[in-house]
Structure 1
Amino acid sequence: MTTVISPPTREVLSDCVRTATAAPSLHNSQPWQFRIRGPRLEVYADPARRLPVLDPDGREQLISVGAALFTLRLAIRRAGHRSDFELFPDPDRPDLVARVIATCPSPVTPAIEALAAAVPHRHTNRYPFARSEVPAAVLDRLREAAGREGARLAGTAPAGRDALLRLARQADRQVQERPGYREERTRWSPPGPRPDGVPRGATGPADAWETLPIRDFRESEAMWTAPSDHFEPNPTILILATGADQRSDWVRAGQALQRVLLTATWHGLATMPISQPIEVPSVRRLLIDPASGLTVQMLLRIGYGRTVGRTPRRPLTDVLLPTGRRTYRRR
């Protein structure tokens, strides 16, 4: 007797895509598009949503798309199917980042349930955290999460943490001096309702002690003054790194980042990626010992913080491409 395996329906896969859009992205640019072809899903980077000033090489865009790819895989698994994926499957279509195929049905484990349940609760938290240490057992879980996606997550001793934060503040100042930076930031700081970008309520205050480089999303210097607050003096900073620095490594870093963020969320932690020191090549090279053979892809601040609201997301109709020829929706 032959067993027929039914793939997920298009409606189920559309729901999985909708879940994938909850992934984090630079300036909440949501630089992804998807196409469903039977049991296959194509994941694209949308060049119209790249940030050329902050991200001229598209590294952070591919990290964002990688985070969406992991969330898509998780959603398919939560729907009761396993999946396989291939990165950059078509050399003639460089923006086709991954092709995912839903495969055999599989029972949903408690671990998958927990990780999937964290998706709607994961938000970048730019507010002060409590002065409480993160338990070593939880840090071990986060390192394990990164390792499962082929990346490395390392903690920092106090001296190393302070050095990293000095470099991060230096990089933040350099980034702000780039031509076109303020215009690009303004583009992603919507003054009113919009389905993307970072609204004022998600920006958080400035650090009165100037320890942390909190990204300033004020849409106009003349419109309002950012409040300040005292952040935790000894933040927990983690380093996410990969063994190389190719496009596939950027996608791998994004998948690892999202698994780490969701694991942290499930454990009640607040999280804030810190990307400024990676956006300045001269600073990025100083973040890790070259003898390690690793390349830093992101710094991550974690701790126990206040509940914050989610940033907006584009509707499914904006990110789900028709089955036919691909077209971009430009803003």
Structure 2
Amino acid sequence: MSTRSPKQAMDAAVEAGRWAPSVHNTQPWTFSVSEEEIGLKADTARKLAASDVAGRELLISCGAALFTMRTAMRCEGYEPVVRILPDPDRPGLLATIRPGQEAEADETTRLLGGEIQRRHTHRAGFADVPIPDRFVESLVKAAMSEGAKLTPVRAADAVNVLAALTQAAQSVQAQDQRFNLEVIRWARPPGSTRTDGVPAESYPREAAPTAPHFPQRQYSWRQGWGAEGGQEETAIGVVAVMTTRGDGREEWIATGQALQRVLLHASAHGVSAAFHTQALEMDLLREFLRQELFSGEHPQMIMRLGVTFDDRETPRRPLSDVLE
């Protein structure tokens, strides 16, 4: 039986939710707390107007927050009761979550809960440390349990296609002022005290290219920002793509939950993720990938998984900023 009250479980869930990953570390969520439940809402003011017109990446980010909250509530000894998109008249309310029956957290849940603040996004190559196939398969099962499909991309030709499309999308976006201004909005200069966006200390100043090369966002906007190091990690890691059969709001939230389950499981075993969503932000390239590489399933996230000795942290907004 739990030694914590339902109110303490809800507080722990909200505290944990703000540590979820989000595109550009926008943290596009707010939490409303009543006596009985928590409301997870989309903060549309933080939506990427140029690269995320439909709000797909925003809802994936919020889905990651929802899984984080579920995990924290389980760690507090309560089975979460969740409703997805509970009110058609309130499209900004993505989910409600409340403590249900008391239930002791199992070993896996405690393992995931221990990674909520430790997990962080990587923005460079990986160390030349192989990831066992058996472990990758455990990540595939983790995604499946949340309603998404994680596919390790093993064929060299398919990896080359993904890298080439990422490069093409990055090059096109770099010529578009709307995309550039959006990246600038969420890039933080060295020493910035902002608690959102991507700080200069969270990526290497000159990352060595992987082969094939998966370019990272150009957060430094030619300012020479970034931390020292990053030249010694050049391995590409395991390229993986998360897909769903449908492509609506429910599937995007499910993608976020599956993604966070995968990321926390990976983090618990010393594996980090680097994300490459550039090609998925261009409708023509995303549709090409859906038809040609993923058998009609909708690609939601492109990532690389690997081992890194980078322990740079990413800031989070204080609770007072996200709590209504």
| AA at the equivalent of 2:281 | E
**For the residues of structure 2 that align with 1:262 and 1:160, how far apart are their CA atoms?**
26
Structure 2: where are the runs of 5+ without partners?
none
Residue 117 of structure 1 is aligned with which of 99, 102, 114?
A: 114
Q: CA RMSD in A?
A: 2.0
Greater CA drift, 144-153 or 183-192: 183-192
User: Given the alignment of the two structures, is residue 295 of structure 1 paired with residue 298 of structure 2, yes or no?
Assistant: yes
Q: Distance in 1 between matches of 2:85 and 2:166?
A: 32
Residue 49 of structure 1 corresponds to: 46
Is 2:149 the counterpart of 1:149? no
Check 1:318–1:225 CA distance in 2 against 1; reply closer, same or farther (3 A cut): closer
How many Å apart are 1:217 and its aligned residue? 0.7
Q: C-alpha offsets along residues 131-168 of structure 1, whole Å, 9 cap, x if unaligned?
A: 23210111011000100100000111222111111111
SS at 2:98's partner residue? strand
CA distance in 1, matches of 2:144, 2:217: 28
Alignment length, in residue pairs? Answer: 315
Note the alpha carbon deviations across 1:252-294, whole angstroms, 9 max, x for none.
1011110011111111112112111111111112224467231
**Aligned mates of 2:180, 2:161 — CA distance in 1:** 27
Structure 2 Cα separation of the partners of residues 35 and 225 of structure 1: 37
**2:313, 2:177 → 1: CA distance?**
30
Who is 1:195 aligned against?
A: 195
Residue pair 1:85, 1:100 contacting (<8 A) in 2 also? yes
Cα distance change on mapping 1:107 and 1:100 into 2, 3 Å: same
CA distance in 1, matches of 2:279, 2:5: 42
Percent identity over paired residues: 34
- Alpha-carbon separation, structure 2, partners of 1:85 and 1:264: 24
Q: How far apart are residue 305 of structure 1 and its match? A: 0.7
Deviations 1:225-256 (A, max 9, x none): 66873653543100100111001111110111
Output the CA distance in 1 between the equivalents of 2:317 and 2:236.
Answer: 36
CA distance in 2, matches of 1:46, 1:234: 34
Aligned partner of 1:194: which letter? R
Structure 2 partner of 1:215: 217
The Cα offsets for residues 62-90 of structure 1, whole Å up to 9 and x where unpaired, read as: 00000000000111111100012111111
Give the deviation of 1:108 after TM superposition. 1.3
Partner Cα distance (1:153, 1:304) in 2: 19
Q: Find the counterpart in structure 1 of residue 127 from structure 2.
A: 130
Q: Tell me what 1:307 maps to.
A: 310
Q: Which residue of 2 aligns with 1:283?
A: 285
Q: For residues 32-84 of structure 1, what are the alpha-carbon distances to aligned partners after superposition, in whole Å with 9 as ceiling and x for unaligned?
A: 00111223111000011111012111110000000000000111111100012
Deviation at 1:212, TM superposition (A): 1.5
Give yes or no for contact 2:125–2:209 (8 Å, CA) kept in 1.
no
Alignment partner, residue 167 of structure 1 = 165
TM-score between both structures, scaled by the size of structure 2: 0.91
- In the alignment, the residues of structure 1 paired with residue 129 and residue 291 of structure 2 have an alpha-carbon distance, to the nearest angstrom, of 29
